[in-house]
Amino acid sequence: MKKFENLIYSILDSKTKKFMVILLTALAFFGTLLMFPTKLVLAKMLPGKSDNTYSIYIDTPTGSSMSETKKVSDCVVNILRSEKEIQHIELFYGQGIPLDYAGLVKGSGMKQSENVAEISVNLSDKHHREEPSYLMTQRLRPKVQSTCSNVVKGSNIKFIEQPAGPPTMASIVVEVQGDNKEEIRKLSLDVASILSKTKGLVDVDVMSDDSYEKYELVLDKQKVAESALDIKQINDLLYLSFEGMAIANKNAKKVGGEIPIFLVLSKDTKVLEDNSKEALEAKLMSLNLMNMAGMMVPLSEVVEIKKVKPSGMIMHKDLTRMINVIAETDMVSQVYPLLEARDVMMEHFAKKGYTVEKEAGMSTYMFDLHLTNKQTGEKYLLRWDGEMKVTLDTFRDLGGAFIAALIMIFLLLVIYYKSFILSGIVLLGSFLSLIGVILGHFIADLVTKDTFFLTATSLIGFIALMGISSRNSLLLIDFAKGLINCQNIPKKRAIAIASATRAKPIALTAIAIILGSALLASDPVFGGLGVALISGTVAAVFVSLLFVPILMDNAKAMDKDEDNETCNIEESHQNISITK
């Protein structure tokens, strides 16, 4: 202890040594801050968590049949069969799997068409399995997508993992907003192609109906009237023949519910030869209707077949037309691919004859791009939503919470010390624990196999650290003041003694925090908090024992208080130190 006391004293005593310590601290602080722009430490809201289950969403193009969708899912299942860790695979055709957190916001519960299927994959328990689920999906994704997407052209296969935190629609969502329906469709396709070319982004999908062809039967009103038919009869017949209808019910005595009697044309007689207009015409020729006079009229007599393009679903968000383009990130933070894709988009759309403007000012929509068509003057908006928006919102709110915490601690200290400078020293000291937090993440990233992200939980850890490290400085200042005022010890020596004496309890509580957080650090979600606490506490110990004493020495507020009142309060310390 004597050695440590002398070390502090020698630093305080020499101006150059003092300057060196301040310089080193400043260097360390700005050095670690530089780790963000140089991407040595990556930020993300929440990292992935290994789970015992994941799901695969299959979307074949709009208008595809169940059997086409089944072909794609069979292909996917075939690849999954070679996986040893899979316990069971559940397939749900034409609907979503029983709702889970991921599906909740991804609209899985609303699925109800022949062109969708969802596969739920259950793995063996994660404690007995070497490969985490997120690495497994990362490994399988390219293989499955390259083999099975082309079974039915234009199919989209997505791997969905359970979110570690709150669920979002996708990691990256680009809302293409604008009034011109055709144009936003074109823009969204461009956006999708840029996203799919960006490194780190997978599962890109445009959330709109694919364009496909359909036939419309145009009724010849004149002929309908002449053949003494009515239009409702024709509609019913068509539906009854091809889709079928439950036309009557039988009350069941044994089984639950009533038994419907379902009428439809038999499969082999209703099947069309191919997708052509002629095939449909031929089929309608043999469908007869009985008119009021009891005569049979072939359906093809009264209708004409026309090929049309359906307009498809129109999506709105807050009263504006928009199309969503979504993408997932492949084990990387969404921030960096987003910025990369955004740069490419700005260039791309500028070339295509749009004026591109960035969103003005700072807000959580700060990555948005405004496009104006130079010829027509129509305005479009590319808005970034999804996990990115949630991340920005969260970091903004946590930043606000952090500033509020700073102000509150500052006010509390001012009340206690009645000095702005001393309170400032305590705050500055605790702020410097940021060095440890960032450095800790860098080291954690080096020692772990996957990328270790600075997450929202790291930020929470940092906020908690503020309180912890301000306590260290607080006890130090308290003690030193007591020595200076009551025992007339010179300022420099008193500060050195205080540092040396408080070193033990400071280290003791620091060890308690480090041990307490050690098990947190291994958790995927709260690892950030654990690492922040551990490394931040280490930094806080050094800062409060080496750096804070220098600030104290320079502060006038630490000078001997001639007013002896403070001494009475500090009488207790007098007891500790003197009585022997």
Nearer residue to other proteins within complex by CB, 69 or 198 = 69
Interior/surface letters 386-411, b for 16+ CB within 10 angstroms, e for the rest: bbbbbbbebbeebeeebeeebeebbe
Q: Is 225 in the site for other proteins (CB under 8 A)?
A: no
Q: Give the footprint of other proteins on residues 330-349 (CB under 8 A).
A: none
Q: Which of 66, 414, 546, 557 binds other proteins (CB under 8 A)?
A: 66
Integer Cα distance of 64 and 250 in angstroms = 34
Q: Give the footprint of other proteins on residues 356-385 (CB under 8 A).
A: none
How many residues touch other proteins (CB under 8 A)? 146
Q: Is 81 in the site for other proteins (CB under 8 A)?
A: yes
- DSSP secondary structure code for residue 61 in this structure: P
Q: Which of 62, 300, 517, 544 binds other proteins (CB under 8 A)?
A: 517
Q: Is 487 in the site for other proteins (CB under 8 A)?
A: yes
Q: Is 220 in the site for other proteins (CB under 8 A)?
A: no
Nearer residue to other proteins within complex by CB, 198 or 423 = 423
Residues in Cβ contact with 173 at an 8 Å cutoff, skipping those fewer than 6 apart:
324, 325, 326, 384, 385, 386, 388, 389
Q: Give the footprint of other proteins on residues 381-440 (CB under 8 A).
A: 390, 393-394, 397-398, 400-402, 404-405, 408-409, 412-413, 416
Torsion sign, CA atoms 107, 109, 110, 111 = positive
Integer Cα distance of 114 and 68 in angstroms = 9
- Got the DSSP string for 72-108? HHHHHHHHHTT-TTEEEEEEEESSPPSP-HHHHHHTG
Instruction: Give the distance between the most distant pair of CA atoms in the chain.
Output: 125
Integer Cα distance of 316 and 323 in angstroms = 8
- DSSP secondary structure code for residue 358 in this structure: E
- Got the DSSP string for 112-166? -STTEEEEEEEESPGGG-SS-HHHHHHHHHHHHHHHHTTTSTT-EEEEEE--SSS
Least CB distance to other proteins at residue 27 (A): 27
Chain position carrying tokens 């794609």: 72
Q: Give the footprint of other proteins on residues 40-59 (CB under 8 A).
A: 45, 52-53
Residues in the chain: 580
What torsion do the CA atoms of 566, 567, 570, 571 make, to the nearest 10 degrees?
A: -150
Q: Give the footprint of other proteins on residues 464-483 (CB under 8 A).
A: 464, 466-468, 470-471, 474-475, 478, 483
Q: Which stretch binds other proteins (CB under 8 A): 29-37, 93-101, 148-156, 557-565?
A: 93-101
Nearer residue to other proteins within complex by CB, 301 or 340 = 301
Q: What does each C-alpha distance from 199 to 195, 205, 232 come to in angstroms?
A: 8, 16, 55
Nearer residue to other proteins within complex by CB, 297 or 371 = 297
Q: Give the footprint of other proteins on residues 270-309 (CB under 8 A).
A: 270, 286-290, 296
Binding flags for other proteins, 172-201, as an x/- string (CB under 8 A) = ------------------------------
Q: Give the footprint of other proteins on residues 243-272 (CB under 8 A).
A: 243-244, 246-252, 255-257, 259-267, 269-270
Q: Give the footprint of other proteins on residues 529-568 (CB under 8 A).
A: 529, 533
Q: Which of 276, 420, 519, 554 binds other proteins (CB under 8 A)?
A: 519
Least CB distance to other proteins at residue 372 (A): 24
Contact by Cβ (8 Å): 525, 164: yes
Integer Cα distance of 514 and 463 in angstroms = 16
Q: Is 76 in the site for other proteins (CB under 8 A)?
A: no
Least CB distance to other proteins at residue 60 (A): 13
Q: Which of 4, 29, 93, 336 binds other proteins (CB under 8 A)?
A: 93
- Got the DSSP string for 466-496? HHHHHHHHHHHHHHHHHHHHHH---HHHHHH
Q: Is 120 in the site for other proteins (CB under 8 A)?
A: yes
Q: Is 20 in the site for other proteins (CB under 8 A)?
A: no
Nearer residue to other proteins within complex by CB, 258 or 343 = 258
